[in-house]
Every structure is written in C-alpha cells, then in structure tokens.
Amino acid sequence: MATVRFAVPKGSIEEATFKVLEKSWTRVTRRERTYRVMLDDPQISVKMLRPQEIPNLVLDGLYDVGITGRDWVKETNSDVKILLDLEFGRIKLVIAIPDSYNFKSLDDMIISYAKKKKTLRISSEYLTTASKFIMQCKSYRKLYGSKQPLIVTPWLRLGSNKNVQIFLSFGATEAKPPEDVDAIMDVTETGTTLTQNQLKIIDTVMESTAVLIANKESLKDKSKREKIFDIVTMLQGAVEGRKHLHLFLNVKEENLKKLLNDLPSLKRPTVSPLSEKGWYGINTVIPKSEFHKLVPKLRKIAQGLVVHEPKQILALEEIKRDEES
C-alpha cells in the first residue's frame, strides 16, 4: 500500500488539531523545531504547514489529505473533497467597522462612499472572499456592475475599480481602522478582540470550522483510498468521542425496566446480571447533552455510577458504506 501524505495545520488551530490526533492514534510524536510529525502508522507521512497553504497543496497532489479551515478552502477556491467536519476551530468571518460609524451593513457603506465620491478601503487576509462578498452586494452591482474591486498587495494589484479597494493584511487586522482603512473583513470567535478595538460587526460573511480535505485523484487511487478512509474513521471516532459519555452503573431488578426506558444509548444498553442476586450492571454510551437530565433520575434508582469520556467512538459500518460509495 502506498504512503498517504497528510498535512496538518500550524498556528491558531494547531493545538486543537493535535488533541484530536492524540485521541485518534496511540502515539503522536512532535519533535521540537521541526515540522515533521510521527504517528504509529508507518503508512501515513505527516507534516505541519500553514492552514492557508494546505488547500492548494492538497489540490496539487503534493499531499493526499489535510486539515485546514473551511474558510481557507473557500478563499483559495480549491477543488478538493471535504471528507469530515472536525467540529473545532469554529469562527465567523465578518465585516467590522469603527463603533463611531453609523452604517448598518457594507451595502450602506458602499452607497454612502459612492455619493460622497470617497474611496472605500477594506483590509483583510481573505482577498478572494472579500472581493466576492463585495461584488454580491446589491449597491455594488448597481453602481459598478461586474467591475472587480482593486486588490492591493505589496507585489501586485488586481481589479479595475479604484473606488472600492481591498488591502492585504499581514495580521493585526483589527488595528487598521479608522486611520488606514474604513472597514475590515476578519475572523472572530467571540467578538471580544473587535470590541476591545472599538469595532462592531455589520455583516457575517461565513462560518467556518476545521475540516479534513482530500485530493480527488488520491481518492480514486486504490493503493491510497483505503488508508485515507482509515484516517477518516480514526478522526471521526475522536470527534464523536468528545460528544459522548460512557456510563457504568448498577440497578436493582425492580428498577431495571424504569431505568432502561429513561436511558439513551447509541443502540441499546448492555445489561449483565451481577454476582449478587437481584442486581444488574448497565453499560451504555450517551450524548453528553443528555447527562444533566439523567443525574436526578439515576440518583433515585441506581448505584455506583462511573462516568468516562470515550477516546473514540468508531462508526465502522457508516465509514464502510461511505468508502464503498
């Protein structure tokens, strides 16, 4: 079987990624000052890269699979296959302006700046996404048609509409307004950083999480496809593990039926007679979200509750069907 090349992100979602990797494989080794990562599977070769780079590197076949943000897949227009939502790195990509501005949306800003014959300046790391979002605004289409906003970077300028300009940001985007630009398109988790910099959100462009992506040709390669779906299985197991709890408890026979009626599970709980007559042991996996509802009931009719967070829950049948499809 061929080695599968796996790109994982360095930077803001690095630690969350490694938590998932460590739940998915029994040994994950990171050497200091290197970008190589070792898993306990010699058929997977792992390297750390910036998440912004990963979609195009996977698209070009330099890597078979990778973890990056859905926002960067959109920004790079990469024609890759999204295999799994990893459910971490949850952010919003938003348009924000200074608190002192009265605009309710980017549409309002475009109209106002055009009337005053002022150049509207926007800063962002997301040049492609910003340009598309601006061009979809009703006021922009009415005023400028299909003209592309002027995109400004230190090494090139693209687009013909100098009335609306997008400047490449190299970080600290929230510090740019109002002196350098009028608005920003930036990512936020809670909005706290924007608030601290006297900025307010006027539009949400998209929501994003970390995703596992694959090169479409690699998925057609029989020597790689099976290993790629091994990776999907392991990662999906870790994602599901975070959302569930494994419960062990004992119950008297007279309360068994009542308990089973109230107890959720992935399928059905395992019920085993104990060595003491009239008692049973219950073994089940439940959604974390249900646990707080169960505790009052369990306290009344059960004993010896033991709770674990499972490392993984592997939905092998579902993965097999996906692989065969």
CA angle 179, 180, 186 (to 5 degrees): 115
Do 201 and 101 share a structural domain? yes
Q: Do 216 and 306 have their domain in common?
A: no
Q: Answer whether residue 291 shows pLDDT above 70.
A: yes
Residue 319 belongs to a domain: no
Residues 137 and 204 in one domain: yes
Q: What is this structure's pTM?
A: 0.88
pLDDT at 116: 96
- Residue of 167, 108, 168, 178 whose CA lies nearest to 143: 108
Q: Is residue 97 domain-shared with residue 183, that is, in the same domain?
A: yes
Say yes or no: 168 and 108 in one domain: yes
Asked whether residue 255 falls in the same domain as residue 112, the answer is: no
Determine the distance from the C-alpha atom of residue 102 to the mean position of all C-alpha atoms in its chain, rounded to a whole number: 33
pLDDT in tens, 133-165: 999 999 999 999 999 999 999 999 999 999 999
Q: Given pLDDT bands bounded at 50, 70 and 90, which one contains residue 32? A: confident
* Residue 320, domain member (yes or no): no
Number of domains, the chain: 3
Domain membership of residue 321 (yes or no) is: no
Beta bridge partners of 158: 151
On the question of pLDDT at 323 being above 70, the answer is: no
What DSSP string describes 62-121?
Answer: S-SEEEEEHHHHHHHT---EEEEE---S-EEEEEEEETT---SSHHHHHHHHHHTTPPEE
User: Mean of the per-residue pLDDT values for the chain?
Assistant: 92
Does some domain include residue 11?
yes
Q: Are residue 102 and residue 169 in the same domain, yes or no?
A: yes
pLDDT tens by residue, 119-140: 999 999 999 999 999 999 999 9
Burial zone of 143 (CB within 10 Å; 0-12 exposed, 13-18 middle, 19+ buried):
middle
Helix (H) or strand (E) holding 235: helix 222-242
325 part of a folded domain: no
**Per-residue pLDDT for 273 more than 60?**
yes
Q: What is the pLDDT of residues 296-320, one digit of tens each?
A: 988 888 888 899 988 888 876 655 5
The verdict on 226 and 263 lying in the same domain is no
Per the domain annotation, does 120 fall within a domain?
yes
What pLDDT does residue 316 have? 65
| Domain endpoint, select from 221, 241, 261 | 241
Q: Distance between CA 206 and CA 280 in Å, rounded?
A: 50
CATH code, domain carrying 249? 3.30.70.120
Q: What pLDDT sits at residue 320?
A: 53
Residue 262 is part of which domain span?
A: 244-314
| Same domain? 19 vs 63 | yes
